[in-house]
Amino acid sequence: MGPLFTMIAIVIGAIILGNYAKKMSDGGFTKSEIARMRSMATGLILLVIVLAFIGNSVVTVDVGKRMVLFNRFSKTFAAEPIAPGWTIVMPGIYERKTYDVQTQVYTMSGVSNEGDKSGDDAITVRSSDGLEMDIDLTVQFKLDDRQLNELHGQIGDDYRGKIVRPAVRESIRNVFAMHEATAAYSTERDQIKQELQSRLESVLTRNYMILEDVRIRNIALPPTVAQAIEEKKAAQQDAERMEYTLQKAEQEKKQVLIEANAQAEKIQVLNDALSSNPLYLKWLAIDKLNENIRLVVTDGNTLLNLDALDSTSQ
């Protein structure tokens, strides 16, 4: 707002000076006109001062930001940072600093121009088994808008370089030092993320910031170790496929045994029934001989010529 009011005053002054220049070219000023011109010049200077003062007093805070006010005379901060919108702040009395309170991202990457630092900015760590790894990491955080006065007074606006970057480097090195390289690359990645979040959250909270997320974007292992891990994964997949095949075969075997046992039980039941009813088989044989035979009586020793019997009946 300050520059706008100053520009307005300059335009007004230019218009007045232009009119006086034209008057000078027409023949000059009388004494009364000169006195009036001096009075107007004094008024113009006062107007410029007033407009500049008003302009510098009106401050605008954008959405997603907060303004910290520090009184140079009392050496104290305003009770609360200024919220988004327009407000009046006495110039010269307060030191003003605007902070972004929206979510911020800090990335350390081995890919050039991908992170906050140009060039290779991956973090080199050493695992518990002595292997070196290059880690790409992204931290998502924001400033605690309730503690901006403390942040400004104790850390300042370079909080990313003073706090975030050193905290990330120290935390990730300490965490990876407790894990083997192969496990960190594969099975323990989620656990490592949780440990990193816990450490970083503690550091950032002490320094008036809020941690939102940690993302391990890439783990670069030595080529020989990476190859060994891939071979181990392939072997595990083969073992899992073999285990599945064996389990399927075992299930099929159990199914066959169940069916066989059921059939044996069925045969046993039938055999027991026949043993207790021996005449049932004779009756069944007679029943199947010919549908025209109604009854056959024999002494059990005589052989019957069924064909002859059939022809006689005809």
**Structural domains in the chain, sorted by start:** 2-100 (no CATH), 104-221 (3.30.479.30)
Rounded to an integer, what distance in angstroms lies between the CA atom of residue 41 and that of residue 25? 19
pLDDT tier at 159 (50, 70, 90 boundaries)? Answer: very high
| Higher per-residue pLDDT: 278 or 164 | 164
The mean per-residue pLDDT over the stretch 123-146 comes to 90
The answer to whether residues 92 and 100 touch, using CB atoms and an 8 Å cutoff, is no
Q: What is the pLDDT of residue 9?
A: 59
CB count within 10 Å of CB 20 equals 14
106 DSSP β-pair partners = 139
Report DSSP state, residue 81. Answer: P
162: its two tokens: 């003073």
The answer to whether residues 152 and 68 touch, using CB atoms and an 8 Å cutoff, is yes
**Which residue shows structure tokens 């030595």?**
222
Rounded to an integer, what distance in angstroms lies between the CA atom of residue 70 and that of residue 93? 8
The answer to whether residues 117 and 38 touch, using CB atoms and an 8 Å cutoff, is no
Mean pLDDT is highest, among 66-70, 238-242, 277-281, 299-303, for 66-70
At 295, phi and psi to the nearest 5?
-155, 135
62: its two tokens: 């954008």
Torsion angle of C-alpha atoms 231, 232, 233, 235, degrees rounded to 10: 90
Q: What is the mean pLDDT of the chain?
A: 78
SS3 114: coil
pLDDT tier at 221 (50, 70, 90 boundaries)? Answer: confident
The answer to whether residues 125 and 131 touch, using CB atoms and an 8 Å cutoff, is no
Q: Above 70 in pLDDT, residue 108?
A: yes
pTM: 0.58
The answer to whether residues 60 and 85 touch, using CB atoms and an 8 Å cutoff, is yes
37: its two tokens: 């011109």
Rounded to an integer, what distance in angstroms lies between the CA atom of residue 153 and that of residue 70? 9
CB count within 10 Å of CB 167 equals 22
Rounded to an integer, what distance in angstroms lies between the CA atom of residue 260 and that of residue 262? 5
Q: 276-313, pLDDT tens digit by residue?
A: 776 666 666 666 665 655 555 555 555 555 555 555 55
Q: Where are the beta strands (DSSP E) in the chain?
A: 58-61, 65-71, 76-77, 85-88, 94-100, 104-108, 123-126, 132-143, 209-220
Report DSSP state, residue 82. Answer: B
